[in-house]
Each structure stands twice: as structure tokens, then as C-alpha cells.
């Protein structure tokens, strides 16, 4: 499954993504009920709800196929997808600690001892940790729903909420819900395996029903 190539998303860098583009967001309002979390962009009408390939993957998420973008593509039909998911707070905290540890090895700010991170640089590290967690969640959505990412500019992912607003007053360790849209393809191998599993389960149910009638 092509996860690493999902490309062009978010705040501007990414370990698993190949992006250097700015974070793309829409104007949002701040909710006082979720520690400055940005109110989620309303769910688009229509679309087809997708079923997870594995029920245990990416808990709390939903994915909708919003329609065909390009058909008869040599590599498969391309669709628009809408995702709502949660960046795990424990993962954000872990990434934040890791980021500060790595940054302190090279830190040499005027007026501060070597290895010390000044207060004004702390929010940037929190933003980076949130960025990485959101990226990992978007990657996980591909596997969870049996999808493949696209190369280059076609692989752009748009996170609808303003994560800079989320960072204001964010409490480390809290989950961050978000919504995103991107273009992608169905992974033919994964979909085939999933359908085969469903057919096998259905056949087993029939066998059980027949045995129950026989008794």
C-alpha cells in the first residue's frame, strides 16, 4: 500500500510525507468547550460511507467517498475522499518530547545556555508535534479504509481546521479531532481480500443456519 507518497499536506514538512508546502486551512471559529480546539468544519452532504478494512484500525474515524474525479486512469479510478479522525494525544505528547530532545542537541540561542530551548520556541515544537501526529493519522486512514495515495500535486491533503488556532492554549496530551479531504484510489488487492473475507463470513452464516434447521 502506498502510504509514504500521500504527499503535499499540512504545515510544511513531514517525515513520512514529501511536502514542503504551507499548511492549507479554512477559516474556523474557536470552541470554548475543547481547550481552544477549532470547531470542526461541517460534514459535507452526500457521499458514500466507507467501511473499515479492519474494525480495530483508526478508532473514532469515518471516511466518505465523495465521488469520482477521474476514471479510466491507467493506475485506477481516482476519487475524492472526506475524512474525520482524531490525532491521538499520547502520540502528540510522545512526539513533542522527542522533538524537544532532538532540538536541544543543536540549540544555541543567544542569551541562553547551549542546549536550552527558549520559551518563544516552545510553541513551534508543539506545532511540529501536532503536525506529525496529524500526518500519521492521515497515513493510517489509507490503510484503515483500503486506499492508495496519489503522487505529486494530486496527492495534496487539505486539513480543514486551523491548527495554529488549535495550538493556542493546547494542553499537551489531549486528543485533536480534525477533518480532511484528499484524492486517492482504492487499493485493489486490499479491497479484493476484504470482499473475499465478507463472502467467507456470509457462507459460514448460511452453514450455521442450515445446521440449525436440521436440528
What global pTM score does this model have?
0.72
Are the C-beta atoms of residues 177 and 32 closer than 8 Å to each other?
Answer: no
Q: What is the pLDDT of residues 124-171, one digit of tens each?
A: 999 999 989 998 999 999 999 999 999 888 888 899 999 888 888 899
Q: Which residue has the higher pLDDT, 72 or 92?
A: 92
Q: Which residue has the higher pLDDT, 191 or 9?
A: 191
pLDDT band for 4, please (50, 70, 90 cuts).
very low
Three state DSSP letters for the chain: CCCCCCCCECCCCCCCCCCCCCCCCCCCCECCCCCCCECCCCCCCCCEECCCCCCCCCCCCEEEEEEEEECCCCCCCEEEEEEEEEECHHHHHHHHHHHHHHHHHHCCCCCCCCCCCCHHHHHHHHHHHHHHHHHHHHHHHHHHCCEECCCHHHHCEEECCCHHHHHCCCCCCCCEEEEEEEEEEECHHHHHHHHHHHHHHHHHHHHHHHHHHHC
pLDDT of residue 104: 87
Q: What is the pLDDT of residues 161-210, one digit of tens each?
A: 998 888 888 999 999 999 999 999 999 888 777 666 555 545 555 555 55
pLDDT of residue 112: 86
Are the C-beta atoms of residues 40 and 165 closer than 8 Å to each other?
Answer: no
What's the mean pLDDT in 96-115? 88
CB atoms within 10 A of CB 21: 15
C-alpha distances out from residue 10 to 23, 125, 132, 215, Å: 4, 15, 9, 60
Write down the residue that cell numbers 475524492 correspond to: 80
pLDDT band for 51, please (50, 70, 90 cuts).
very high
pLDDT band for 32, please (50, 70, 90 cuts).
very low
Write down the residue that cell numbers 442450515 correspond to: 210
Mean pLDDT, all residues of the chain: 78
Are the C-beta atoms of residues 163 and 9 closer than 8 Å to each other?
Answer: no
Task: Look up residue 161 and give its three cell numbers.
Answer: 481546521
Closest alpha carbon to 133 in 184, 182, 99: 99
Task: Give the separation between CA 23 and CA 30, rounded to whole angstroms.
Answer: 18
pLDDT band for 79, please (50, 70, 90 cuts).
very high
Q: Out of 53-57, 64-68, 124-128, 157-161, which region has the weakest mean confidence (pLDDT)?
A: 53-57
Q: Which residue has the higher pLDDT, 36 or 182?
A: 182
Amino acid at each position: 500500500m502506498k502510504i509514504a507518497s500521500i504527499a503535499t499536506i499540512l504545515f510544511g514538512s513531514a517525515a513520512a510525507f514529501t511536502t514542503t508546502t504551507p499548511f492549507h486551512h479554512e477559516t474556523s471559529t474557536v470552541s470554548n468547550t475543547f481547550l481552544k480546539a477549532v470547531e470542526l468544519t461541517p460534514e459535507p452532504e452526500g457521499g458514500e460511507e466507507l467501511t473499515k478494512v479492519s474494525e480495530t484500525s483508526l478508532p473514532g474515524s469515518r471516511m466518505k467517498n465523495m465521488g469520482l474525479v477521474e476514471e479510466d486512469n491507467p493506475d485506477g479510478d481516482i476519487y475524492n475522499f472526506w475524512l474525520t479522525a482524531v490525532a491521538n494525544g499520547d502520540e502528540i505528547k510522545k512526539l513533542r518530547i522527542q522533538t524537544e530532545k532532538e532540538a536541544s542537541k543543536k540549540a544555541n540561542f543567544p542569551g541562553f545556555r547551549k542546549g536550552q530551548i527558549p520559551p518563544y520556541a516552545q510553541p513551534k515544537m508543539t506545532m511540529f508535534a501536532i503536525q506529525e501526529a496529524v500526518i500519521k493519522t492521515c497515513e493510517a486512514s489509507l490503510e484503515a479504509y483500503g486506499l492508495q495515495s496519489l503522487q505529486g500535486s494530486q496527492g495534496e491533503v487539505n486539513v480543514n481546521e486551523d491548527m495554529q488556532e488549535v495550538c493556542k492554549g493546547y494542553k499537551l496530551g489531549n486528543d485533536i479531532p480534525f477533518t480532511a479531504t484528499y484524492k486517492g484510489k482504492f487499493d485493489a488487492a486490499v479491497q479484493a481480500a476484504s470482499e473475499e473475507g465478507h463472502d467467507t463470513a456470509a457462507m459460514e452464516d448460511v452453514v450455521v443456519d442450515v445446521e440449525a434447521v436440521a436440528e
